Amino acid sequence: MNKDLIESKGLPYSPNLTMIPTQKNCIYPTKEQVFNLFAKYYLFATLATTDYDLEYFNFIYRNLNTMYNFESFFSGKDKELLNKLLNKDLSLNLSKISWLYEDCFIFAWIMNLTNFPSQNSENNAEILNALLFMQFDEVNKKNLPSKMFDFLYNKESNKLDYEKINLKSFDEILDKADLVKRYLWGLEELRINNKQNTSGLNETVLRYQLHGFSRVLRWDLTKPGI
């Protein structure tokens, strides 16, 4: 199926491409791992794209941390990046960090919360904002419980129940990761051979979507999948 899709966009297809995702070089993630990646990257991308008031952000972050226990899955490097973002460190490439929204769309798709994202243009982050995190009550000026939190929260245990998340199958995830990888390979082949790209694909979007797949599958993009 991917062969037909790729060729329909005027891109070359290689049946012998080895650096592809398979069950031999990838690991099927747990539900909690996918959600944690989503939440972390969403927060980073939001900080990189929003001209926020620090006091208000800290208020939001405390709410999020209370709901999702963010800090429990932040590594030392994650906390370092978070602090730099909060302090508006000028050494950061905010444009690059903001593209992590594309990773988030991959994670959201894997959790069956959105359709598979576009590869033609930058995807609208408002979809993630409205679906997965807080809603803001403009009248009363306060955050309302998010749809995601309501979905995951188990009143009996007073904890988040990640088992409620319905992940895509391993084969479905690998198939889409393979498609994105082959799209990028095809674009590179066109460039090498000085051929015009008429596919309509956005290479930056694809690169960040591939990054999302590599993170969630713990897939080393340099290792053959066969």
Rounded distance between C-alpha atoms, residue 180 and residue 208, angstroms: 10
Helices (H) and strands (E) in the chain, counts: 10, 4
The pLDDT of residue 99 is 93
Asked whether the CA dihedral 119, 121, 125, 128 is positive or negative, the reply is negative
Q: How confident is the model at residue 217 (pLDDT cuts 50, 70, 90)?
A: very high
Task: Tell whether the model's pLDDT for residue 137 goes beyond 90.
Answer: no
- AA letter at 198: T
Domain boundaries, the chain: 2-216
Q: What is the C-alpha to C-alpha distance for residues 63 and 24, in angstroms, rounded to an integer?
A: 40
This prediction's pTM: 0.85
Instruction: Specify whether the CB–CB gap between 70 and 44 falls below 8 A.
Output: no
pLDDT tens digits, residue range 171-183? 999 999 999 999 9
Cβ burial 99-132 (10 Å sphere, 16+ → b, else e) = bbbbbbbbbbbbbebbebbbbeebbebebbbeeb
**Which has more pLDDT, 188 or 151?**
188
Per-residue model confidence (pLDDT) at position 40: 86
Task: Tell me what pLDDT residue 30 has.
Answer: 93
The Cα–Cα gap between 127 and 106 comes to 13
pLDDT digits (tens, 9 = 90+) for 44-85: 888 888 776 667 667 667 766 776 777 777 888 988 998 888
68 phi and psi, to 5 degrees?
Answer: -110, -5
The DSSP bridge pattern shows strands 135-137 and 142-144 to be antiparallel
